[in-house]
């Protein structure tokens, strides 16, 4: 039986970051992971492999759509699916090995296997029981299914199966117009698949600024994705080949169905905590099985902590990482802190979509007096040069104080652009602070500055 200061269960972005930080702060740390490789869902079957496929298929799309316009002649490339899969696997391996290296460098012990918590202060892995002053649960989440739908990860798939299909299908029905549905839907639409997205709500990407969501849907439709909105899926039945999805339109109760080679279930995720023994320990849980914690990530059991997708809040890798860092600092006698008001969200389609802070709808609901500074990428020289001038930057600021309250971007590099607004918000900056900051020309970031200018005396290029 080995003794540790802290044992972290799960080596995803929450867990591995917590482990590294705690070790850096002088603790004797172990991290339990049952997968063959470190990095959790994000590195193995989530964020990273999907970005590889998004990148490859984006380039393919460029060759079809824009190469000729730039005088780049010749037949567009054909797809070697096995090679694309191998490239994706290499990207994953490079990253998971990187975490292994960081564990060694920081002297974090990797306990290989699946953990349970037989008693407070104890973690069982295989036949061995280890003890620790503190235990952190960072076990992440799993895809949630629909009632009566059986996922086989071949024909009816979650995001995991969607990353490793035998071949790009002719047709695909995506259930759920959230982040996973639209990212993976984009990948296959660019590979020539007829993609139909069936969504329960009347708009795509729930919670996103409505103006951005509308623009996003229009752009994706132009890229060939079809949308059925306001549709409650009734059943998914597997046939000899493919599957049939049946839905009911909420507005008139009419039923319709569609056959497709592949059905992707992308209707959200739920905490993954089975096998830990939380019920026996008496750990309190909340809605959808999230583990309840206090402001310091401690559960109702002293010495037992939880972070990431297993607790409340957005299921995002970077939110988990921030919580991982904060919990490690708290357990090392420091003041770990996460600012939940400034957590960006990014969708890695083309164009990218990114947001931080309040949406206009939320500000209206809060009855807050605000102003809007909007700037279209049509006025941005760099965006026009790469045929991506369709989107815009929308900055929301307090009407009286000019303090930045939120930002919503659809356009090139949105996922990177959003971070200057995040930093500004962390510093409590005003829109004028952004507007007075020199931005290099020609960059996409000028559009953010112009949106800030639009909150004051007006943008220059609109």
Any contact of residue 353 with ligand NAI (CB under 6 A)?
Answer: no
Q: Which residue from 89, 102, 151, 201 is in contact with ligand NAI, where contact means CB under 6 A?
A: 201
- Shortest CB 207 distance to ligand NAI, Å: 8
Residue 327's closest CA among 302, 306, 311?
306
Q: Of 21, 88, 130, 269, which one interacts with ligand NAI (CB under 6 A)? A: 269
Closer to ligand NAI at the Cβ: 85 or 235? 235
CB 95 → ligand NAI: shortest distance, Å?
A: 16
Residue pair 34/340 in contact (Cβ under 8 Å)? The answer is no
Query: Is residue 198 close enough to count as binding ligand NAI by CB under 6 A?
Result: yes
Q: How many CB atoms are closer than 10 A to CB 428? A: 10
Instruction: Report CA 283 to chain centroid distance, whole Å.
Output: 27
Phi/psi for 117 (5° steps) reads -115, 90
Judged by CB under 6 A, the number of residues near ligand NAI is: 25
What's the DSSP call for residue 429? -
Touching ligand NAI, residues 272-301 (CB under 6 A): none
Residue closer to ligand NAI, measured from CB, 111 or 320: 320
From residue 403 to residue 422, the character string flagging contacts with ligand NAI as x (rule: CB under 6 A) and all else as - is --------------------
* Structure-token pair, residue 337: 């802190």
Please report whether residue 267 would count as binding ligand NAI according to CB under 6 A: yes
Closest by CA to 310, choosing from 359, 266, 283, 272, is 272
Site stretch for ligand NAI (CB under 6 A), options 111-119, 129-137, 180-188, 453-461: 180-188
Q: Decide if residue 348 touches ligand NAI (CB under 6 A).
A: yes
Q: Does 206 bind ligand NAI (CB under 6 A)?
A: yes
Q: What's the min distance (Å) between Cβ of 269 and ligand NAI?
A: 4
CB of 347 to ligand NAI, least distance (A): 5
Cβ atoms of 364 and 181 within 8 Å: the answer is no
> Hey, which residues does 391 pair with through a beta bridge?
none
Q: Which of 64, 296, 337, 441 is catalytic?
A: 441
SS3 136: strand
- For residue 351, say if its preceding peptide bond is cis, omega within 30 degrees of 0: yes
In this chain, which of 31, 177, 219, 278 binds ligand NAI, going by CB under 6 A? 177
Alpha-carbon 147 to chain mean position: 24
- Let me know the angle formed at the C-alpha of 185 by 183 and 190, rounded to the nearest 5 degrees: 100
Q: Does 200 bind ligand NAI (CB under 6 A)?
A: yes
Task: Identify which of 97, 361, 254, 236 has the alpha carbon closest to the alpha carbon of residue 246.
Answer: 236
CB-nearer residue toward ligand NAI: 179 or 383 = 179
Which residues share a beta bridge with 132? Answer: 4
Q: Which one among 60, 115, 117, 180 touches ligand NAI, defined by CB under 6 A?
A: 180
Locus of tokens 């104080």: 401
Going by their DSSP bridges, the two strands 231-238 and 115-116 should be labelled as unpaired
Q: How far is the CB of 196 from ligand NAI (least distance, A)?
A: 12
Please select the residue that binds ligand NAI; options are 54, 174, 175, 454, rule is CB under 6 A: 175
Token pair in block for residue 149: 């739908």
**Between 95 and 134, CB nearer to ligand NAI:** 95
Q: Which of 348, 401, 329 is nearest to 371 (CA)?
A: 401
Radius of gyration of the chain (CA): 23
- What are residue 207's DSSP bridge partners? none
Residue 434 near ligand NAI by CB under 6 A: no
Which position among 129, 146, 258, 386 is part of the footprint of ligand NAI (CB under 6 A)?
146
**Catalytic residue at 441?**
yes
Residues that bind ligand NAI (CB under 6 A): 146, 175-181, 183, 198-201, 206, 232-233, 266-269, 315-316, 346-348
Task: Give the residue numbers annotated as catalytic, written as ranges.
Answer: 441
């Amino acid at each position: 039986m080995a003794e540790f200061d802290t044992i972290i269960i799960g080596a995803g972005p929450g867990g591995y970051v917590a482990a590294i930080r705690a070790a850096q702060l002088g603790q004797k740390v172990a991290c339990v992971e049952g997968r063959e490789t470190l990095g959790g869902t994000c590195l193995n079957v989530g964020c990273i492999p999907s970005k590889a496929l998004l990148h490859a298929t984006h380039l393919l799309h460029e060759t079809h759509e824009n190469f000729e316009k730039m005088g780049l002649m010749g037949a567009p490339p054909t797809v070697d699916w096995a090679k694309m899969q191998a490239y994706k696997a290499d990207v994953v391996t490079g990253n998971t090995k990187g975490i292994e290296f960081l564990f060694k460098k920081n002297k974090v012990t990797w306990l290989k296997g699946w953990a349970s918590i037989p008693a407070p202060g104890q973690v069982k892995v295989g036949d061995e029981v280890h003890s620790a002053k503190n235990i952190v649960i960072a076990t992440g989440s799993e895809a949630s299914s629909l009632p009566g739908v059986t996922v086989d990860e071949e024909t009816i798939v979650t995001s995991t199966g969607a990353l490793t299909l035998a071949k790009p299908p002719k047709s695909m029905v995506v259930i759920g117009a959230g982040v996973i549905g639209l990212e993976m839907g984009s990948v296959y639409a660019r590979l020539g698949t007829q993609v139909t997205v069936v969504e329960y709500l009347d708009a795509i990407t729930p919670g996103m600024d409505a103006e951005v969501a509308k623009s996003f849907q229009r752009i994706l439709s132009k890229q060939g994705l079809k949308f059925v909105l306001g549709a409650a899926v009734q059943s998914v039945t597997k046939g000899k080949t493919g599957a049939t999805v049946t839905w009911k339109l909420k507005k008139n109760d009419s039923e319709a169905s569609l056959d497709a080679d592949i059905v992707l279930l992308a209707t959200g995720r739920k905490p993954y905590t089975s096998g830990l023994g939380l019920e026996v320990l008496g750990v309190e849980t909340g809605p959808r099985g999230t583990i309840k914690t206090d402001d310091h990530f401690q559960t109702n059991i002293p010495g037992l902590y939880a972070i990431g997708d297993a607790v409340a809040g957005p299921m995002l890798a970077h939110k988990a990482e921030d919580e991982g860092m904060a919990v490690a600092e708290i357990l090392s006698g420091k003041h770990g802190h996460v600012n939940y008001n400034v957590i960006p969200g990014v969708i890695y389609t083309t164009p990218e979509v990114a947001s931080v802070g309040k949406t206009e709808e939320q500000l209206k609901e809060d009855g807050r007096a605000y102003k809007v500074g909007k700037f279209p990428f049509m006025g941005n020289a760099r965006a026009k040069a790469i045929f991506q001038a369709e989107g815009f930057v929308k900055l929301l600021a307090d009407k009286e104080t000019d303090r930045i309250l939120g930002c919503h971007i659809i356009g090139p590099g949105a996922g990177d652009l959003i971070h200057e607004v995040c930093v500004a918000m962390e510093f409590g900056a005003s829109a004028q602070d952004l507007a007075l900051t020199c931005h290099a020309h020609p960059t996409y970031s000028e559009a953010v500055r112009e949106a800030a200018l639009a909150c004051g005396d007006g943008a220059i290029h609109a």
